[in-house]
Structure 1
Amino acid sequence: MSETTEGQANEGQGWATAKTLAEALPYIQIYDRETVVIKYGGHAMGEEQVAKLFAADVVLLKMLGLHPVVVHGGGPQISAMLERAGVKSTFVDGLRVTDAATMEVAEMVLSGAINKEIANWITQAGAEAEVRGVGLSGKDARLLTVEKVARTKKDPGSQIEKVVDLGYVGEPKHVDTTLLKALIHAEDDYIPVVAPIGVSATGETYNVNADTVAGALAGALGAKRMLLLTDVAGVLDKDGELMRQLTVDEARAAIADGVATGGMIPKLETAIAAVEAGVEAVVILDGRRPHAMLVELFTEHGAGTLICR
């Protein structure tokens, strides 16, 4: 390539970059000083390189004036550790039955290995800008007070509703945002990273569905957006096409009509609950795609399915 051709190529890239920034500016202004809660799913974590790209994008959100709060899952990692320990997992309606031994492993994996690794990736990505990840769980400063989940299930033979004991599985009862707000609004740039572990009023530790935790935190913080990063493009219609936007009523209909199936049902239920709790909108998107969050927040067309009122 000649010097002239190379110079023209570089100039073209410069104009393309400027165009992208100009198009993104209105959206950057919309989200300035707004809180965005990001659920980083176990399946969306993927390989280390993908995770590091995620961390860099979260740091960029902070540098652009947003207040990101990350809530992570870790179901696949918990299952792998339980298998290594010879502990068999059972599930009821997508929730892991959690006895004392399983709870010990879940807390070790979620609050330990995964939580600190994500916080460290964010800190490394933000080193030059002095943006730092802070690893927490719902047990810290009583961030997340929970109560034991109560579930019933019909007996296939008798059709009688029976109580199912899920063990140490909790659901949010109260969110104390004091610590999160202190980190979000501190003079230094901190990004909270929250493991989905909660504590009961009597001090017992519970495993909590990460989507549910993200929704509870987003509602309590009055987040402008909640992003549910998963391993699919979003909600697909019966023809397999991405549904770009749903109202709460349309989301309920998607569940009732069987359009949403499997793991998408609890994600839509979480989105509906979050919107009804005051979150402006929830987006379900593929967290494995590079820069999916940036495309969703700062471009006209977005990157997943947006659920709003």
Structure 2
Amino acid sequence: MKPITTPLSAPAANEPEPSPHVQARILAEALPHLIRYDEQTVVIKFGGNAMGDAALADAFAQDVVYLKQSGVNPIVVHGGGPQIASMLKKLDISSDFVHGLRVTDKPTVEVVEMVLSGLINKDIVSAINRQGGKAVGISGKDANLMIAKKITELPDPESNLMKAVDIGFVGDPVEVNPHIVDVISKSDLIPVIAPVGISRDGETLNINADTFASALAARMKAKRLLLLTDVAGVLDRDKNLVTQLTIEEARQLIKDGVISGGMIPKIEGCIEVVEAGVEAVVIIDGRVPHCVLLELFTAHGVGTLLGRARRKAKGLRE
């Protein structure tokens, strides 16, 4: 395990400084978690409000640097929907959605790549570097990291049958070649990846960030996949947070209608990732400062963990 040299954020102005005894207890409680994730790969999908809020973005960057300094191999995959929408509006390019996916024609995919691989990617890289890390920005096109194919059909919401669609340059992963990520991660560098892929014919394809991160985590057999969102996690019928789910429980909640709407494809994607060999996927509330450290290095975690089996009694997580 590497020595931890990167401090967390200082307490807010209205918060008292923890006593040395409290600080020591916090570190002691984190030790078992630090050991568990030592030299393990954790893929983190960064998006939502956390990207648009400067304080949350800084806290996220600190978390990532702390992970690297702790001996964990963090891999960051980021989204950028609001920033893409803003740039398209500035350029007076109209954009529609089909089943939650942006219809991406040739002018739109050029803007998507410019915003994701350029503006957003380098902002995140710079944020991590400011916190003492050494981040490197790439996309799924680098070293053929993410080979994808155009999406030509999607499930019809009414019949649940597959229906032919034409949504342009939007892709689904078909082959993941993680060599470049391995090379970066095995050094003191942190990979930050824009979810842009390439087809076998050389076409640039826009890939949903959750889908991209899931495919990468599955291929690399990551210890964890963390999906930062703008919700607390999966809620039960009484709108209380469900802290843990097995695959069977998740499927039953979908069948019962408790999990509905846009959460269904997210959960179905999580199930596929776990079945592919990732130990667990966690849907995390990205609006919580230091949510990554809370999830990985505390007993209770934060958000909804989906795995093959429950980790501990009383809601505690291993």
Asked if Structure 1 and Structure 2 have the same fold, meaning a TM-score greater than 0.5 normalized by the shorter chain, the answer is: yes
Is residue 2:114 matched to residue 1:114?
Answer: no
* Structure showing the higher helix proportion among its residues: 1
- What is the percentage of aligned positions where both structures have the same residue? 55
User: In the alignment, is the contact (CA less than 8 A) between 1:44 and 1:286 conserved in 2?
Assistant: no
* TM-score (structure 2 length as normaliser): 0.88
Match of 1:170 in 2: 171
Match of 1:4 in 2: none
What per-residue deviation string (whole Å, max 9, x for no partner) do you get for residues 72-103 of structure 1?
00111111111122222211111111111111
User: In the alignment, is the contact (CA less than 8 A) between 2:231 and 2:284 conserved in 1?
Assistant: yes
Runs of 4+ in 1 over 3 A off after TM superposition: 152-156, 158-162
User: In the alignment, is the contact (CA less than 8 A) between 2:153 and 2:162 conserved in 1?
Assistant: no
Match of 1:205 in 2: 204
Match of 1:135 in 2: 137
Question: 1:203 and 1:259, CA in 2 relative to 1: closer, same or farther beyond 3 A?
Answer: same
Unaligned runs of 5+ in 2: 1-15, 309-318
Which of these residues, 14, 37, 40, is aligned with residue 43 of structure 2?
Answer: 37
1:273 offset after TM fit, Å? 1.3
Question: 1:30 and 1:110, CA in 2 relative to 1: closer, same or farther beyond 3 A?
Answer: same
Aligned-partner SS, 1:38 = strand
The number of residue pairs the alignment matches comes to 293
Alpha-carbon distance between aligned partners in 2 of 1:150 and 1:108, rounded to the nearest angstrom: 24
User: In the alignment, is the contact (CA less than 8 A) between 1:45 and 1:288 conserved in 2?
Assistant: no
Q: For residues 1-150 of structure 1, what are the structure 2 equivalents within 5 Å?
A: 13-126=19-132, 131-150=133-152
Aligned-partner SS, 1:213 = helix
User: In the alignment, is the contact (CA less than 8 A) between 1:155 and 1:162 conserved in 2?
Assistant: no
Alpha-carbon distance between aligned partners in 1 of 2:85 and 2:74, rounded to the nearest angstrom: 28
Match of 1:183 in 2: 184
Aligned-partner SS, 1:146 = strand
Over the aligned positions, Cα root-mean-square deviation in angstroms equals 1.9
Question: 1:153 and 1:22, CA in 2 relative to 1: closer, same or farther beyond 3 A?
Answer: closer
Alpha-carbon distance between aligned partners in 1 of 2:192 and 2:209, rounded to the nearest angstrom: 12
Alpha-carbon distance between aligned partners in 2 of 1:147 and 1:190, rounded to the nearest angstrom: 30
1:153 offset after TM fit, Å? 5.7
What per-residue deviation string (whole Å, max 9, x for no partner) do you get for residues 256-305 of structure 1?
32222333222212211111111000000111211111111111111110
Match of 1:3 in 2: none
Unaligned runs of 5+ in 1: 1-8
* TM-score (structure 1 length as normaliser): 0.90
User: In the alignment, is the contact (CA less than 8 A) between 1:144 and 1:172 conserved in 2?
Assistant: yes
Equivalent position amino acid for 1:61 in 2: L
Which of the two has higher C-alpha Rg? 1
